[in-house]
Amino acid sequence: MLIRLSKEFGRFGSLNESEEYEILRWLFWDNQKLSGFMATYRFLRTFTERPNKDVLAFLRRRIDDFLSVLEKQVSSQPFVASERATIVDISMCAYLSYPSDETGYDLAASHPKVHEWLGRISKLPNWKSQYDLCLANACIASSSIRRVADKLLLAIAIMTRLQMDSPTMPCRATC
């Protein structure tokens, strides 16, 4: 979806074949490693009443490994796949941009280069965080509504970030 949107809007995609392969490599890595594990970890940690501590510990160890890979990558260049922001950065930052009380990570302390990279992304023109994009923040205070809204927020964030010149799309959530 991100590849298609980047081509349709002419933004955040590859400039040549070599960069296209690098973007694909990191997108696959992110989906199979970082975001896949972080999404599960965040959900279990934040939205379940009694998460299994062994499962959380396993996920946390894996995420720590993946964050170390990302830390190394963004230590040598400003963005993951290129000197400029691409759909890889948009994909990877999604679950890392949630508040530390949800993710359990203080990235400034544990992975400072990842934290700096997230800062560079947040300075992109018209950038908005997931929760800033949704005007219905007050409506998703309860965990049951928040779980349903989480996927909607992420989809809105990705779509809005790629288009960036469009106004913020309001959530359709009701209180």
Q: What is the pLDDT of residues 102-161, one digit of tens each?
A: 999 999 999 999 999 999 999 998 888 887 776 545 444 444 445 555 555 565 566 555
Residues 6+ apart with CB under 8 A from 142: none
Average pLDDT over the chain, rounded to an integer = 83
Range of the domain at 84: 2-124
- Last residue of some domain: 124, 140, 155? 124
Note whether 96 and 68 are same-domain residues. Answer: yes
- pTM to 2 decimals? 0.76
Query: So what's the pLDDT on residue 162?
Result: 53
Residues 117 and 133 in one domain: no
Q: What is the pLDDT of residue 139?
A: 47
Count of domains observed in the chain: 2
Asked if residue 174 and residue 91 are part of one domain, the reply reads no
- The answer on 132 and 115 residing in a single domain is no
DSSP letter at 1 equals -
Q: What is the phi-psi region of residue 164: left when phi exceeds 0, alpha when psi lies from -120 to 50, beta otherwise?
A: left
Mark whether 76 and 161 lie in a shared domain: no
- pLDDT of 98 > 70? The answer is yes
Query: Distance between CA atoms of 29 and 95, rounded to whole angstroms?
Result: 14
15 falls in which pLDDT band (50, 70, 90)?
Answer: very high
Are both 141 and 153 inside the same structural domain? Answer: yes
Each residue's pLDDT tens digit, 47-80:
999 999 999 999 999 999 999 999 999 999 999 9
